[in-house]
Structure 1
Amino acid sequence: MSNKERDDAFKLLEKANKKAASSAGWFSSASTKYEEAGDLFQQAANVFKLLKMFKEAGDAFSREAECREKCSETSEASNAWWNASKAYKRGFPDLAIQALNQTIQHLVKGGRFRQAADREKEIAQIYLQETNDLQRACDSFLRAGEWYAGEDATATANQCYKDAADLCADMEQFPQAISLYERVADHSLGSNLTKYSVKEYWLKALLCAIAMQDIVTARRAAQKYVSQDNAFSSTREFKFANAIIEAVDAGDIEAFTGAVFEFDQITKLDNWKTAILLKIKKGIQDEPGLT
């Protein structure tokens, strides 16, 4: 980055600020003034972005967005806020979320719910990956899922619901997690393309019920799932869940460990299953002989 390039970027920014603050002349309107200022802020933002000055780029895109709003260029304003969020993502997650929320407001007002869902999912991922705010990430995944569902984007909606369910389980909000896994499973049963994944959702729901130390609910849920799809009873997932239910009910750590080891030999346990199985194991150790 040369000093000249940096200076040029700040000169563009200064020019944009002066244009936005100026009074309209005899032959121009306030709308024209803000259009021209918006163009200058956009130019400055793009130069800052090339110079990898991402905070300055985000700030300039935000100022562009405000100018677009003042001259009722709502589509351009939405896009400018989105560009601001992309710049802010490089180290400024809170500002990125604020910019995305501004984008979403414009998209929702314009009835562009599919695009609003895309942006809401971005917010969820920032909360999850950058700020580790699981509850807000979960809320954003649910909101995105509802918007996707309303636009008949069922597969994408289900992915959001599944991500929300995983987070609910991580936060030990097990009833909500079970409800979401069952919702995704119900949708997936109706398609040959997604039916194969139902056993995974039902296994997760059953593990959540077991983690609640509610063996009666777990057994009833297992029976319900078999009644929805009889093939589930012959899957490794059903047999594994059933073995865990029996081990927990008996307070038998050895049986629990054996079932986990056997399942892991063929289907490697992922981080989510490992975490919830550790919670279940702790429950056996704390309260043996659950009935």
Structure 2
Amino acid sequence: MAPSKSEARILLQKAEKKAASSAGWFSSATTKFEEAGDLFQQAANAFKLEKSFVDAGDAFSKEAECREKCKENNDAANAWWNASKAYKQGDRPDLAVEALSQTVTYLTKAGRFRQAADREKDIAQIHLQRGDLPRACESYERAGEWYQQEDANAMANGCFKDAADLHAQIDQFPQAIARYEQVADQSLQSNLTKYSVKEYWLRSGLCALANTDSVTAKRNLQKYETLDPSFMTTREAKLLAALIEAVEGSDLEAFATACRDYDQVMRLDNWKTTILLKIKKTIDEEPGLT
């Protein structure tokens, strides 16, 4: 005896049958797809109850296609968004990104850039989890620009900072420096965020050194002091100044001492440790800089 179909499968079958049916004398194609969309949505939710998340994502995707045929763009965007969440639960990040991209398209067409930025940030995080740093970087920057358009400056700065970190990790140091300085300039405009500029400027300086450009690092350090004279009293500025001197003198011992002294007080995070190792490698490879 064949096993009985689950409620979700029964609803899915009804939805597919409705979507494939011919419009009757007293109904239109729009009505047909509206009804099919409702059934696909019900099937998707039933699949979620069964924890069949990929099937749920597929059903939400079919719902979205029905909404599109009815020109119900807001409902289509919501259906794609629901599909992306189901695919994430089902461990299909590739399909989640595709569904989120569809959501973003509808949101931007409707001028809902704040919500589009939220979804683009979700895409960035999926790319990051998959180890695709260049695409994550692109999505963070796109999200940041949309947040900025909506005057959500704190959210924008968070995305631009994340993008800068990734630029540095894939050795795109000039782009990283530009983003760190952009975020620092924005942060200087508010007393609530002014305290954070020392971190951004330190990261910018480290990127210049990792790019074997101590001249730019030194010039930028002087520029940062002009923008905020108190910066030179911070541990971040002192570390950067010590590192510039160590790099220019090819002094590995001084380099190690500067890193150790800072770490004993502030603790070096994984990003700084990674970039510092890149800087150290430049000293190892070019010992004759003096």
Q: Could you say whether these structures have the same fold, taking a TM-score greater than 0.5 normalized by the shorter chain as the test? A: yes
Distance 1:289 1:261 in 2: 24
Quick one: distance in 2 between partners of 1:216 and 1:253?
18
Query: Identity of aligned pairs, percent?
Result: 67
Is the CA contact (8 Å cut-off) linking 1:41 and 1:63 kept in structure 2? yes
**Aligned pair 1:112/2:112, yes or no?**
yes
Q: Name 1:99's counterpart in structure 2.
A: 99
- Aligned partners of 1:249 and 1:289 also within 8 Å: no
Quick one: distance in 2 between partners of 1:99 and 1:142? 20
1:139-150 pair list within 5 angstroms:
139-150=138-149
Q: 3-state DSSP class of the match of 1:24?
A: coil
Please name the residue that 1:276 is paired with.
275
Please tell me the residue identity of whatever aligns with 1:200: E
Question: Could you tell me which residue of structure 2 aligns to residue 242 of structure 1?
Answer: 241
Displacement of 1:290: 2.2
Match of 1:48 in 2: 47
Where do residues 203-282 of structure 1 align in structure 2 (5 Å cutoff)? Answer: 203-282=202-281
Change over 3 Å in CA distance of 1:41–1:231 after alignment to 2: same
Q: CA RMSD in A?
A: 1.2
Deviating above 4 A after TM superposition, structure 1's stretches of 4 or more consecutive aligned residues are 3-6
After TM superposition, give the deviation of residue 5 of structure 1 in Å: 8.9
Mapped partners of 1:5, 1:41: distance in 2: 20
What amino acid does structure 1 have at the position aligned with 2:201?
W
**CA distance 1:6–1:213, shift in 2 (3 Å):** farther
Q: Where do residues 1-291 of structure 1 align in structure 2 (5 Å cutoff)?
A: 7-90=6-89, 91-129=91-129, 131-290=130-289
- Tell me the CA shift for residue 4 of structure 1: 8.2
One-letter amino acid matched to 1:46: N
Distance 2:222 2:101 in 1: 43
**How big is each residue's C-alpha offset from its partner over 1:55-107, in whole Å with a ceiling of 9 and x where there is no partner?**
10000000000000101111000000000000011210110000001111111
Can you list the C-alpha shifts for 1:163-203, whole angstroms capped at 9, x where unaligned? 00000000000000000000000000000110000000000
Q: Retained in 2: the 8 A contact 1:9–1:44?
A: yes
- Does the aligned pair in 2 maintain the 1:113–1:151 contact within 8 Å? yes
Q: Distance in 1 between matches of 2:98 and 2:119?
A: 11
Report the Cα distance in structure 2 between the residues aligned to 1:252 and 1:186, rounded to whole angstroms: 32
Alpha-carbon distance in 2 for matches of 1:56, 1:192:
50
Per-residue displacement from partner, 1:96-124 (whole Å, max 9, x unpaired)?
Answer: 00000111111111110110000000000
CA displacement at 1:139 relative to structure 2: 0.2
Q: For the residues of structure 1 that align with 2:28 and 2:221, how far apart are their CA atoms?
A: 68
Q: Structure 1 residue 126: deviation in Å? A: 0.2
Give the Cα separation in 1 of the matches to 2:288 and 2:189. 39
Letter in structure 1 aligned against 2:77: S
1:177 alignment partner AA? A
Counterparts of 1:5 and 1:83, CA distance in 2? 27
Offset of residue 50 of structure 1: 1.2
1:113 and 1:248 map into 2 onto residues whose CA distance is 44
Unaligned runs of 5+ in 2: none
- Alpha-carbon spacing, 1:85–1:6, altered in 2? closer, same or farther (3 Å): farther
Structure 1 residues not aligned, in runs of 5+: none
Further displaced range: 186-195 or 4-13: 4-13
CA distance in 1: counterparts of 2:288 and 2:5, whole angstroms: 70
